[in-house]
Amino acid sequence: MKPEIIEPGGCLVGQINAPGDKSISHRVLMLASLADGESTIHGLSRGQDVKHTMEILTSLGVQLEEKDSDVLRIQGGELKEPSEKLFVGNSGTSIRLMSGMLAGLPFSVTLDGDESIRKRPMERIIEPLERMGATISCLETAGRAPFRIDAGGLKGIEYQMEVPSAQVKGCLMFAGLFATGDTTVIETTPTRTHTEELFQEVGLDVFITAPTADGFSESVTVKPGQPKPFIHKVKGDPSQAAFWAVGATILKGSEVAIKNVYTGHARDGFIGVLSRMGADITQDPVTNDLNVASSELVGTVVEETEIPGLIDEVPILAVAAACADGETHFKGLGELRVKESNRLETIVSEIGSMGMKAEISGDDLVIQGGGLTGGKVDSHGDHRIAMSCAIAGLVSSNATEISGWEAVATSYPGFIDDLNALRK
**Active site residue ranges:** 312
- Kindly state whether residue 358 participates in binding ligand S3P, applying the rule CB under 6 A: no
- Kindly state whether residue 385 participates in binding ligand S3P, applying the rule CB under 6 A: no
Q: Judged by CB, which is closer to ligand S3P: 165, or 294?
A: 165
The H-assigned helical ranges of 347-405 are: 383-394
> How many of the chain's residues bind ligand S3P (CB under 6 A)?
10
Specify the length of the chain in residues. 424
What 3-state DSSP class applies to 195?
helix
Nearest to 57 by CA among 97, 115, 20, 21: 97
Minimum distance, C-beta of residue 15 to ligand S3P, in the bound complex (Å): 25
Nearest to 93 by CA among 85, 101, 105: 101
The residue range among 101-109, 165-173, 205-213, 262-270 that interacts with ligand S3P, by the rule CB under 6 A, is: 165-173
The residue range among 100-108, 159-167, 203-211, 279-287 that interacts with ligand S3P, by the rule CB under 6 A, is: 159-167
- Kindly state whether residue 311 participates in binding ligand S3P, applying the rule CB under 6 A: yes
List the x/- string, 68-107, binding to ligand S3P by CB under 6 A. Answer: -------------------------x--------------
List the x/- string, 13-42, binding to ligand S3P by CB under 6 A. Answer: ----------x-------------------
Minimum distance, C-beta of residue 23 to ligand S3P, in the bound complex (Å): 3
The H-assigned helical ranges of 120-159 are: 123-131
Q: Judged by CB, which is closer to ligand S3P: 170, or 176?
A: 170
- Kindly state whether residue 165 participates in binding ligand S3P, applying the rule CB under 6 A: yes
Minimum distance, C-beta of residue 225 to ligand S3P, in the bound complex (Å): 21
For the chain, state the CA radius of gyration: 21
Find residue 366's DSSP bridge partners.
329, 359
Strand 135-138: give its sheet, edge to edge: 86-87, 109-112, 147-150, 135-138
What CA–CA distance (Å, rounded) separates 318 from 407?
Answer: 19
Q: How many CB atoms lie within 10 A of CB 253?
A: 12
Q: Residue from 4, 218, 289, 312 that binds ligand S3P (CB under 6 A)?
A: 312
Minimum distance, C-beta of residue 357 to ligand S3P, in the bound complex (Å): 26
Cβ(6)–Cβ(399) under 8 Å?
yes
What 3-state DSSP class applies to 221?
strand
Residues at the site binding ligand S3P, with contacts judged by CB under 6 A? 23, 93, 165-167, 170, 192, 311-312, 335
